[in-house]
Amino acid sequence: MVKEATALETGSKTGIEEISVDGFDYIEFFVGNALQACYYYNRGFGFDVIGYRGLETGNRDAVSYVLRQEKVTIVLTAALHPDHAVSTHVMQHGDGVKNVAMRTRDVRKAYETAIARGARSIQEPTEVTDEHGTYVSASIATYGDTVHTFLDRTNYKGFAPGFTEVKNKKGDSVGLVSVDHVVGNVESTKLDQWVEFYSKIFGFHIYQYFDATDISTKYSALVSKVMANRSGSIKMPINEPFEQGLRKSQITEYLDFYHAPGVQHIAITTRDIVKTVKELRERGVEFLNAPATYYETLKERVGEIDEDITELAKWGILVDRESEGYLLQIFTKPVQDRPTLFFEVIQRKGAKGFGKGNFQALFESIEAEQQTRGNL
């Protein structure tokens, strides 16, 4: 059930000043082959390739591609040598999210506040000026090997120093708009530690809280708390496994194959989910399938909606009704070899939650996939 946050868990109620961040800026993946990953997201998801850094730009150690679709920016980075930090990361975790970067208008203040409150430094504030302007960034550690970069490119016209602009690799957009939320998985009993981290370090509050009675089947369960800033531009749910079930939960499967806490999925908004999912499926992107009985009573559960239920069933799109409206959502299968990272496509029509009414169907779909992998 959704519960009230305690005073400790709500930074604003304890007098902790919130670190000022305006929203997600980019999400960086460390991958084994950036060129092939770039092709996948360009052709499959319709991202434009807008930036590049590699041998041709003077970088002798790693290669990166920058891709964008409306307000969603991802960076794909691969190592050029086996002893590089990216190689080490990919060897342990497989392809996955390394950096969840956030925009701020005062990088130094954000960084110094975080460090003073106990965050671990990854990169001190750095200011670089080139022909495109001045770019300021700093980074701190979060769960597992994941980091947060604070950055300010208010006075910078490109993506970042060292990158060259790419103009001839446009994607065929599928209608993705912005990052809605980024979900992390942590070990059993560690959830409250990371809730406290985002409460005390960032001044974030618990936006929603789901316990094992909300997200469970006869086989497995999880607990989740959604951390957010006051404006709602940053929402970061954090999950931990709740091992009261008979089998291994999806969170435990993730931890077993990622070999650490990390980002489980990225939710991206769309203005027309039917059109977006149709395009993605036709391009070969694979999604979880809802149980066959899900749509039989959908109208009774959610009431009148704008969409044709037959179309939703055809494309496997889920619906959840809340007091303020409803949302539509669907989840991809893992987008790399290991059963770790996946994407959510979401369209909000007034609803501010995360599809609580779909948790049962979603869990059953995930467990069906786990069963095929021999990991349930």
DSSP letter for each residue of 11-33: GGGTTPPPP---EEEEEEEE-S-
Are the C-beta atoms of residues 87 and 19 closer than 8 Å to each other?
A: no
User: Which residues are within 8 A (CB) of 241 and not within 5 positions of it... i.e. 6 or more apart?
Assistant: 187, 188, 220, 221, 222, 249, 251, 252, 255
Residue 218 pLDDT greater than 90, yes or no: no
Alpha-carbon distances of 301 from 34, 175, 238, 239, rounded to whole Å: 43, 28, 27, 26
Question: Which amino acid, one-letter code, is at 47?
Answer: F
Burial class of residue 155 (count of CB atoms within 10 Å of its CB; 0-12, 13-18, 19+): exposed
Q: What is the DSSP string of 53-67?
A: ESGGGT-SSEEEEEE
pLDDT tens digits for 52-83? 999 999 999 999 999 999 999 999 999 999 99
3-state DSSP call for residue 371? helix
Residue 3 pLDDT greater than 80, yes or no: no
Are the C-beta atoms of residues 310 and 299 closer than 8 Å to each other?
A: no
The span from the CA of 203 to the CA of 205, in Å, is: 7
Are the C-beta atoms of residues 207 and 260 closer than 8 Å to each other?
A: no
Q: Where are the domains of the chain?
A: 16-169, 176-184+227-234+245-373
Please tell me the predicted confidence (pLDDT) of residue 370: 73
pLDDT grade, residue 12 (50/70/90)?
very low
Both structure tokens of 202: 């960032």
Region 16-169: CATH code: 3.10.180.10
Please tell me the predicted confidence (pLDDT) of residue 364: 66
3-state secondary structure 227-270: EECCCCCCEEEEEEEECCCCCCCHHHHHHHHHCCCEEEEEEEEE
User: Which residues are within 8 A (CB) of 265 and not within 5 positions of it... i.e. 6 or more apart?
Assistant: 182, 183, 331, 341, 342, 343, 344
pLDDT grade, residue 321 (50/70/90)?
very high
CA-CA-CA-CA dihedral for 326, 358, 261, 340, to nearest 10: -110
Please tell me the predicted confidence (pLDDT) of residue 8: 41
Alpha-carbon distances of 70 from 53, 259, 265, 284, rounded to whole Å: 21, 33, 19, 22
Please tell me the predicted confidence (pLDDT) of residue 14: 46
pLDDT grade, residue 248 (50/70/90)?
confident
Please tell me the predicted confidence (pLDDT) of residue 363: 64
Does residue 244 or residue 43 have the better pLDDT?
43
Residue 131 pLDDT greater than 90, yes or no: yes
Q: Which residues of 72-93 are buried (b: 16+ CB within 10 A; e: fewer)?
A: bbbbbbbbeeeebebbebbeeb
Which of 142, 244, 150, 137 has the alpha carbon at shortest distance from 183? Answer: 142
Burial class of residue 295 (count of CB atoms within 10 Å of its CB; 0-12, 13-18, 19+): buried
Are the C-beta atoms of residues 222 and 249 closer than 8 Å to each other?
A: yes
Average pLDDT, stretch 88-113? Answer: 98
Are the C-beta atoms of residues 45 and 72 closer than 8 Å to each other?
A: no
The span from the CA of 326 to the CA of 305, in Å, is: 8
Architecture category of domain 176-184+227-234+245-373 in CATH: Roll (3.10)
What are the backbone angles phi and psi of residue 120, rounded to the nearest 5°?
Answer: -95, 130
Are the C-beta atoms of residues 41 and 266 closer than 8 Å to each other?
A: no
